[in-house]
Amino acid sequence: MALSDTKIKNLKPKDKVYQVADEAGLFLEVTPKGAKAWRLRYRLFGKQEKVMLGHYPAFGLAEARSWRDECKVLVKRGISPMALKRGDQILDHNSPTVRELGEEFVAKWCIETVGKSRQKKEEQQAENTVLAFATKWYEEIVVPNNKRHAGTLRVLRKDVYPVIGYMQIDEITVEHILTITDTIKNRGSDQMALQTRNILKRLFAYAIARQKTQFNPAAAIEGRFIAQAKSRDVALDSDEIGRLLRAIYQSGMRRANKLALHLLILTMVRKTQLTEASWDEIDFDKSEWIIPAERMKKEKAQVVPLSIQALEMLRELKQLSSGSDWVFPSRNSLSRHISDTTLNHAIRTLELDVQQFVIHDFRRTASTHLHEAGFNSDWIEKCLAHETKGIRGVYNKAQYADQRREMLQWWANFVDSQIEEGRSVIIGRFARK
């Protein structure tokens, strides 16, 4: 029976070399080490010859069959593909067919055929890499149909392209997908690992529809084996806020990391906006932190009013930064800030009697308590750097600077009061004033 891509992929190595036939003399030779080589048997002037094309999957089934047909044309004209492959004298002058063709024709035919085949192969390989195909998928499918497409692009650039971007789309296996998701999980981002698997599942579904591959390696992995889907409505109650912060300050993590986690709760900013903060963004005189537009999700600069507690933490961090330009310099180099995963690892080291949560839930926690306390929703949304939708958003451009400053000071005092309950550790000099 003729070969298929599925049959070829399922061929396993044995103790000895063995052969699996396709059609018309074409066959695949499998070595004990798992290498698969295309070969062709044919008869020329009553003598059997055998010639090799190359290895699978560098040469696919369709390409091997095309090569076989080209070789058959040569044989009919009295030309030996084996001799042509070796570069030997290819003309048998006892053959009238070859005499009629002449050496010039044969040389020209070889150059054109091999050159076109090689060029076509290189072009196909270039457009069928994961990087090239995913880029096309993102621009033609994701962007027009998904308003939140920027997140997909970040996933591809950060976690997918560095691992498999250079590979052919039909070479990707389940093992490659697991390598990507396991790497993400090891930095404490189980839900992001699940999200990445889902993105890859959609990518390979499109690749199958475009006949670039026959297998979806991401779909072969059930989501529950990567992470359990969690509700995105997690918010810590007041008691959990106190227990969490006490556990943070009682832990053995670096002082700067303790202050970073505390600042995330108080300022309501995103994690990377804090970890990538530089001292030129902090105005101690005005008690403000100005995050530039290029570091904001919506590409609009954000002014964060600093509570008394937050300001005192930053003064301590200034001393801890040892002259670095970064608020949170790396342990290995003052010229770099800490990585995006540092705070995730810090949280994972804690032994907490607190419901499962992720760092991003600090923002939801603050929003929940501020709404319950009766603060204006516009002020809260502005602190979260959320855009108000519809007509209301068009006309509501106010910054609410004074109101937000008062609200964030109330929030810092509220958080302090939760820490005070049963506190058994000295946290710092930034208590309420």
pLDDT at res. 387: 65
Distances (CA, A) of 433 to 101, 307, 308, 322, 412: 100, 10, 8, 28, 11
CA-nearest of 139, 148, 200 to 172 is 200
As given in the structure block, the two tokens for residue 143 are 């962007």
pTM: 0.48
**DSSP structural state of residue 139:** I
| CA gap 241, 235 in Å, rounded | 10
Q: How many CB atoms lie within 10 A of CB 402?
A: 10
Distances (CA, A) of 169 to 120, 146, 206, 262, 351: 17, 23, 11, 44, 42
The set of residues, in sequence order, having a beta carbon less than 8 Å from that of 6 and lying 6+ positions away, is 214
Q: Is the peptide bond before 57 cis (omega within 30 degrees of 0)?
A: yes
In the chain, where are the structural domains located? 5-115, 130-225, 238-420
pLDDT at res. 231: 47
Helices H / strands E in the chain, number of each: 19, 7
- Look up tokens 């540092």; give the residue: 342
The full length of the chain comes to 433
| Fold annotation for 130-225 | DNA polymerase; domain 1 (1.10.150)
As given in the structure block, the two tokens for residue 85 are 């492959």
Give the N- to C-terminal CA distance of the chain in Å, as an integer.
85
CATH of domain 5-115: 3.30.160.390
| CA gap 187, 184 in Å, rounded | 5
Q: Answer for the pair 32, 16: CB distance below 8 angstroms, yes or no.
A: yes
| CA gap 37, 31 in Å, rounded | 8
The set of residues, in sequence order, having a beta carbon less than 8 Å from that of 212 and lying 6+ positions away, is 128, 133, 169, 170
Distances (CA, A) of 128 to 19, 124, 135, 151, 211: 29, 6, 11, 23, 11
| Fold annotation for 238-420 | hpI Integrase; Chain A (1.10.443)
| CA gap 309, 291 in Å, rounded | 19
Mean pLDDT for back-to-back runs of 10 residues, the chain (433 residues) = 84 89 90 86 85 82 86 80 61 41 52 54 72 91 78 88 88 92 85 89 92 91 75 72 88 92 93 92 94 81 92 95 93 89 82 63 88 88 73 51 92 89 50 46
**Beta 282-283 vs 47-56: how paired, if at all?**
unpaired
**H/E stretch holding 282:** strand 282-283
pLDDT at res. 58: 77
As given in the structure block, the two tokens for residue 97 are 């067919």
